[in-house]
Structure 1
Amino acid sequence: NTGSVPSVVLMPVDGEGPTIVAVHAVAPRVEEMGQWSSDLQWIADQCPAGNVILAGDFNATIDHMTPLGVDGGDMGYCRDAAARTGNGLSGTWPSSLPPLLSAPIDHVMASADWTPTGSALIDDAGGSDHRGIVVQLEPSSAG
């Protein structure tokens, strides 16, 4: 699990369907850098080759994840849906700033079993300091 803020791993009981991992890595503050790195590694480890969807507050941009990608993935074998559908640079935090001035630290990622076919940023944060991101994933023939 992530060290400071809980994450959840949901696995289908009958083995049919994706493993869904809701993640929340600790923020990369000076005093938390070791834990942040450990959290990102744990998240990457949750996406081995297989049927996986990761979603949540990664507290990291794609640039931070580069060393954790495997075989073209951004985190383990998972690929960022927004980055592959034209919204990868749209910032989600803080919601008080325009998307182009915010950091894209919230993500939905999926293994090769899924093809991202769309994404949208929800500009009305509803009181949160993060914008929401919605993605459309379709079963892939690669999976």
Structure 2
Amino acid sequence: MRRPVTWAWTCSAVLVACAAVLFAAPLAGFERWPVIAAALPARAALGVLFAVALVVVAVLLARRTWRPRVGVPVAVALAVASALLLPVVLARGVVDEPVAAPAPGQLRVLEWNTNTDLTSPDVVARLAAAQRADVVILPEVALRSGSAYRRAFTAAGVSLMRVNRHSSTTQVAVWMAPRLARHYSSVPGPDPVKTVELTTTTPGLPTLLALHAPWPVGERLAGWDEDVDWVASQCAAGAAAGRPVLVAGDFNASTDDFGGPSLGGCTDAATLRHSAGVGTWSTHVPTLLAMPIDHVLLTPSAGAVTSFTVLTSEDGSGTRHRPTMAVITPGP
């Protein structure tokens, strides 16, 4: 009997320690460490997993399938782990609000990682038309797909122009309504394939950053870190100068990886709308279990977030990411 008891206490201690590390990482400043950075977006899924496991262990104890000396330490550890993870997710908000109705002066931003060609341009164009999008950001499409998207937008009755063409290998595509596109020029970010900066000298319009950060594991961690630092520095500079900055894309990170709801001088739009617990990846699991890794961030001078919505209507489209729709009302 001694060996099972020892195993139970050891596993329980490891479980509580892991949950405590994930809980403390954003608070203590080690949220970008290897393994931790990749695990943090799974906070909700892990919390639910621990809660379900707790119910199973409780049933086994009630039926006397497990002896208390073995089952009780495991049950306590699962309860502690769930309590460390799930309340944070619930506090951030898990109810997805509807997209705000169109109104004059809005900036309507649709962001969708379509995983290259897992969703056709026609599907994207129909969604852009339905949401009356002014800006469409696609973090992972080949440049050669531009003509297909142009035809699809035209067929859907959407007038959008591609505004970034600085490299033949660029994967991030940004489309804008012509009234906006004519004011912007494009320069590459730190990764010319997966980051882009759209600059403007027109007062009131935000600098726009679009990106597809690498998954923060192994050798990719350094590139991910560089992309996150780039966004943080641009946001900080914009906020300090009172210049509006808007960031959108697939960060492969939750706000935990930012150390909080803000990055530099930008704040997460989902956090502002109390829906930061709604997951965007993967479409194969419910939003409560999915990872919230697609974001829109903005400086205060970029305006107020009227709504931020993770769209579940496209879960059957073939992609692994859910699109997000942010409606921004510029300030006076």
Q: Shorter-normalised TM-score: what interval?
A: 0.7 to 0.9
> Are residues 1:65 and 2:276 paired?
no
The 3 A distance-change label for structure 1 pair 13 and 4 is closer
Are the equivalent residues in 2 in contact too, given 1:23–1:43 (CA < 8 A)?
Answer: no
* Structure 2 residue identity aligned to 1:103: M
In the other structure, the counterpart of 1:87 is 275
C-alpha deviation, 1:89, in angstroms: 0.5
Q: Structure 1 runs of 4+ off > 2 angstroms?
A: 1-5, 13-16
CA distance in 1, matches of 2:307, 2:204: 24
Confirm whether residue 132 of structure 1 aligns to residue 132 of structure 2.
no
Q: Distance in 2 between matches of 1:87 and 1:127?
A: 24
Count of residue pairs the alignment pairs up: 136
State TM-score, norm by structure 2.
Answer: 0.39
Instruction: Give the helix-richer structure, 1 or 2.
Output: 2
- Find the aligned partners of 2:289 and 2:278 in 1 and give their Cα distance: 8
Deviation at residue 6 of structure 1 after TM alignment: 1.5
State the match for 1:115 in structure 2.
304
Q: Return the offset for 1:140.
A: 2.9
CA deviation profile, 1:75-101 (whole Å, cap 9, x unmatched): 111111111102111000111111110
Given the alignment, which residue of 230, 237, 243 partners 1:42? 230
Q: Following the alignment from structure 1 to structure 2, what is the Cα–Cα distance between the partners of residues 57 and 65?
A: 14
Q: Secondary structure at the match of 2:219?
A: helix
CA RMSD of aligned residues (A): 1.9
8 Å contact 1:94–1:130 — kept in the other structure? Answer: yes
Q: 1:103 aligns with which of 291, 297, 320?
A: 291
Mean alpha-carbon deviation: is it higher for 33-42 or for 2-11?
2-11
> CA shift at 1:13, angstroms?
4.3
CA distance in 2, matches of 1:137, 1:108: 10
8 Å contact from structure 1 (residues 2, 24) kept in 2: no
- Whole-Å separation in 2 of the counterparts to 1:99 and 1:16: 34
TM-fit CA distance, 1:134:
0.7
Per the alignment, do residues 27 and 86 of structure 1 end up closer, same or farther by CA in structure 2, a change over 3 Å counting?
same
Q: Partners in 2 of 1:61 and 1:45 — Cα distance?
A: 18
Q: Which runs of 5+ in 2 are unaligned?
A: 1-188
Q: Which amino acid aligns with 2:304?
A: T
Call closer, same or farther: CA 1:5–1:100 in 2, change over 3 Å: farther
5+ long unaligned stretches in structure 1: none
Greater strand content? 1
Instruction: Quote the sequence identity (%).
Output: 35
